[in-house]
Amino acid sequence: MEKVATAAAPAAIGPYSQAITANGFVFTSGQIPLDPATGAVVEGGITEQARQSMKNVKAVLEAAGADLTTVAKTTCFLADMGDFAAFNEVYAGYFTGNPARSCVAVKDLPKGVLCEVEAVAIVKS
């Protein structure tokens, strides 16, 4: 197993890594809508936060030798399932290959954000 780290996505805010590669796969940690340059939550609602979370997932995948087209599975966490349609609209613009997905509402997310996304992808040869 190898740890993945990139300055193009927010640094881990706890005892974990941005991702791990193992046996040809990359497993990302959940990416929340933090601006990697400032470490601050991006301003705006679910659309802006979903977009930043997707950008962060993309950056971590690319650092691991994968990309959005090699994603096999995502897990998405929403603070409010009422945001599902708006979140889904942003998501569809990034994951055009329609990977398997789970999307659940949770009570709270780190830093009070509205969404978090994690992915499992195949590392390109």
Backbone angles phi, psi at 96, to 5 degrees: -75, -15
Helix 84-94 crosses helix 46-63 at what angle (to 10 degrees)? 30
> Active-site residues: which are they?
103
Q: What's the DSSP call for residue 31?
A: B
Query: What are 33's two structure tokens?
Result: 């809508």
Integer Cα distance of 27 and 44 in angstroms: 28
Residue 48 CA: distances (Å) to CA of 10, 55, 62, 103: 16, 11, 21, 18
Rg (CA), the chain: 13
